[in-house]
Structure 1
Amino acid sequence: MSDIASQPWFWPAVIVSIGLPLTLIGLTELANLLVRRGSRAAPIVLMIRNYLVPVAGVLVLLSQPGAWEGSGTWPKVVWTIFGLLVIVVTINAINHLVFHRAEKGSWRDRFPTIFSDLIRFVLIIVGIALVFWWVWDADVAGVFAALGITSIVVGLALQNAVGSIVSGLFLIFEAPFQLGDWIETGGTRGQIVEVNWRAVHLDTGNGIVVMPTAELAEGSFVNLSRASDPYAAKKEVQFSTDDPPARVRALLVDVAREIPLVSDAREPSVKSVGAATYRISIPLQSPGDEGGVLDAFMTRLWYAARRAGLHLDGDLTDEWNTRDRLLQSLHKIAPSLSLRPDEAQALGETARLERFAQGEVLLRPGDIPTSTRFIIAGRVMLGVPTDSGFVQITELRRDDAVGLTALTRTRTISRAVALTEVEAVEIPVGVLDDIVRRHPSLAREIVRENDNRVRLARSALEAIGEKLDPTRRVVG
């Protein structure tokens, strides 16, 4: 037994016969663990288990004295296979550790795929050359010389293209923008939807602009999404010189504040630029909302200016709001107010006609209405704002009233928003008080309608798992 143990092949054979199975079992368990965790390293471990370790075991046996007579070819073939397997496993491990596990937004995540492929190609060529030099005593100096000369020739031929690519890469590594940002450069403004090693894709709302990264790197651009304050849409508007500036400025801010896409981080601001011209700055949630916000602002401003008796663009006429139209509208709502024709005619001195654009707010939560509006034409949505969103209560149409709580001088909890262009007759609360005193039945009708709206509000809130505050008995 001692003679066998003293043989040079004994202990390597024992190591292979015992260590090889134990190593394979350990690598199998490790691979199963990585598969359960969804790790990309599992294929690398399986490659080591299935190929590298068995070949290493064969090499241990072949490397012992007397295992192979002479300088045969097969040991070199096995060593060559082992070297190639080492190259493949190493490259896959580097690819997994450096690129596949890269954190989002890091330089490794932004590293162009073409360059990682090129690096892997160079490593493979160099690795194969070293294997043949070490195993087969091959002269690989010519290979490296050819690679060097080829690199110089390709570099000279593509110096302009490569220079642009490198400039773009530096821009990507600096990361002055990210997906979703809005940038403006050279008269082009858009949202970044894709970034690669060659170009940046901008969605301008009227198509995709593909802009080379080198062009951005060599020029200047503005990242609209990374300002300390929200991006602001600016608009100049003109009123009549007879309009009081304080009222005009307040009107502009009120109209801008009610547009849904306006940012809550900063209030709209107005500056006078002379000759009854005002410049309003409207902070936006996103630079891409500028067109929609300005369109909604100018539309609503036209209606709001006429309701306020101000003269947008110096227009001093309003052919729609006439006394004849007002009297016709009062006669339409007279049955709802229990009024005789002569009483409706008398309201022409105190009531007034109003028009609202789609999306404008007729009633806000927390307001104590100073008047009640009776709808002549159009539709209005009545709802309650909650933490989970806006809950619709009911839809108001012709002859329905907005601002029922004016009579009780209590705050409303609802919001009334115009679904279409709305025409309404506004009656001041003092005048409405006189009507109720002359016609007590009207008060009962108003109370009944308000109770009905409270019931609808309670049902709508219960449908989404919320409750109406029992102390609040008025809706709007």
Structure 2
Amino acid sequence: MNDITSQPWFWPAVIVSVGLPLVLIGLTELSNMLVRKGSRAAPIVLMVRNYLVPVAGVLVLLSQPGAWEGSGTWPKVIWTVFGLLVIVVTINAINHLVFHRAEKGSWRDRFPTIFSDLIRFVFIIVGIALVFWWVWDADVAGVFAALGITSIVVGLALQNAVGSIVSGLFLIFESPFQLGDWIETGGTRGQIIEVNWRAVHLDTGNGIVVMPTAELAEGSFTNLSRASEPYAATKDVSFSTDDPPLRVRDMLMDVARDIPLVAPDRDPSVSTAGGAKYQVSIPLQSPGDEGVVLDAFTTRLWYAARRADLHLDGDVTDDWNTPDRLLAGLRQIAPALSLRPADAEALADTARLERFAQGEVLLRPGAVPQATRFILVGRVMLGVPTDDAGFVQITELGRDDAVGLTALTRTRTISRAVALTEVEVVSIPVRVLDDIVREHPSLAREVVRENDNRVRLARSALEAVGERLDPTRRVMG
């Protein structure tokens, strides 16, 4: 037995006859596992099992003394094949580990395919040259010299194009922005929807702007999404010099707060610029909302200024709010107040006409109304906030319906009233309503009946979304 194990062919034969099948079985199981997981490393394992390991087994057999007489060509051919297989497997393994397994958004994930292909090509050429030098004793100095000269020529010919690409690559590796960010550069502002090695795609709202990364790398830009504070839209407005600045500032703040796209954790700010001019700064949830927010703010401001008897842009005229229109409105709502038209007209000295823009809030949760508004024209949505900061619609109010029923009970309302269209109302102060109720008790019964109806609607609406109305809350808008 000792004579057999001491033979030079024994251990190579054991390796091939025992080790080779075990390695092949192990690689087969590993490949099947990777295929089940959907891994892109499975083809690499198959290449090792089907080609590299069998060729290695042949080389082990050839290593036995006397297995091949002389220094023939075939052993060198097999060594060459083995060397080429090692090069291919190594390059594919590195490519898988470095690029295929790269995390989304990392520099490896953004690395251009053209550059990874070029690097692989260079490694293959160098690897083949080294194999021929090692196996065939070939003089590869000329190959490296030619490769170097070719690189210089190509580099000089493409220096402008390659330079731009490299500049763009450095910008991508630095990662000063990411998908979804808003940037502003050279008068162009947009949201980044795609980034590659050649260009950045910006959605400006009026189309897609394709901006070369080299242009961004060589210039300057502002990342609006990475500021320490939310991006703020600014608007300059002016009023009459007779308008009290504090009243103007309070009104501007109220209008800005009610716009839905304002950042929830930041309050708008107002600064006085002098000469009855003011600058309003509105923090936004996204820089892309600036146009919509400023449009809503400008529209609502006109209505709010008229209701507050302030003079936006110094305009002191109001052809809509006339005594005749007020009297017509009072006659219209007289039945809702249990009054005769002539009695309703007597309220002209205390009642007032108001207009609201679409989207404006007529009533806020938690407020104690100081007046009740009766709708002349338009539609109003009445709803209640939910526990998860949502909003559930209760009902829709229209002509002659009242907003602010809790003014009579001096209690806080739990509902929110929002104008669905432009809305015209007659506002009756609570002290006037008190006098009407004393003279016409039936009005109080109507108010209670309508409030109970709205509570019932609120309970049904909340139950439909899986929430409950607090039983202690018995008053609505």
Structure-1 separation of matches of 2:421 and 2:91: 65
Query: Aligned AA for 2:85?
Result: L
Q: TM-score, normalising length from structure 2?
A: 0.96
Residue 275 of structure 1 deviates from its aligned partner by 1.6
Runs of 4 or more consecutive aligned structure 1 residues displaced over 6 Å after TM superposition: none
Residue 272 of structure 1 deviates from its aligned partner by 1.4
Residues 1:398 and 2:399 aligned together: yes
Please, which moves more after superposition, 48-57 or 241-250?
Answer: 48-57
Residues 1:137 and 2:126 aligned together: no
Verify the 8 A CA contact 2:331 2:342 in the aligned structure 1: no
Residue 404 of structure 1 deviates from its aligned partner by 1.0
Structure-2 separation of matches of 1:75 and 1:460: 85
Residue 2 of structure 1 deviates from its aligned partner by 5.0
Partner of 1:247: 247
Partner of 1:224: 224
Matches within 5 A, 1:74-473: 74-386=74-386, 387=388, 389-473=390-474
Query: Aligned AA for 1:112?
Result: P
Structure-1 separation of matches of 2:361 and 2:249: 19
Structure-2 separation of matches of 1:394 and 1:136: 90
1:408 aligned counterpart, secondary structure: coil
Partner of 1:55: 55
Residue 465 of structure 1 deviates from its aligned partner by 1.0
Residue 3 of structure 1 deviates from its aligned partner by 4.7
Matches within 5 A, 1:17-28: 17-28=17-28
1:273 aligned counterpart, secondary structure: strand
Query: Aligned AA for 1:456?
Result: L
2:334 aligned counterpart, secondary structure: helix
Please, which moves more after superposition, 52-61 or 409-418?
Answer: 52-61
Structure-2 separation of matches of 1:38 and 1:443: 73
Residue 388 of structure 1 deviates from its aligned partner by 5.4
2:297 aligned counterpart, secondary structure: helix
Residues 1:70 and 2:66 aligned together: no
Q: Which runs of 5 or more structure 1 residues have no equivalent in the other structure?
A: none
Partner of 2:39: 39
1:339 aligned counterpart, secondary structure: coil
Verify the 8 A CA contact 1:184 1:221 in the aligned structure 2: yes
Structure-1 separation of matches of 2:389 and 2:228: 29
Verify the 8 A CA contact 1:338 1:442 in the aligned structure 2: yes
Residue 427 of structure 1 deviates from its aligned partner by 0.7
Structure-1 separation of matches of 2:389 and 2:277: 40
Verify the 8 A CA contact 1:253 1:268 in the aligned structure 2: yes
Pair 295,172 (structure 1): closer, same or farther in 2 beyond 3 Å: same
Q: Deviations over 1:256-315 (max 9, x none)?
A: 111011112321111111221111111111111111110000000000000000111111
1:26 aligned counterpart, secondary structure: helix
Verify the 8 A CA contact 1:230 1:265 in the aligned structure 2: no
1:58 aligned counterpart, secondary structure: helix
Structure-2 separation of matches of 1:443 and 1:74: 111
Structure-1 separation of matches of 2:44 and 2:443: 84
Identity of aligned residues (%): 86
Q: TM-score, normalising length from structure 1?
A: 0.97
Please, which moves more after superposition, 386-395 or 354-363?
Answer: 386-395
Residue 171 of structure 1 deviates from its aligned partner by 1.5
Q: Which runs of 5 or more structure 2 residues have no equivalent in the other structure?
A: none
Structure-2 separation of matches of 1:438 and 1:339: 10
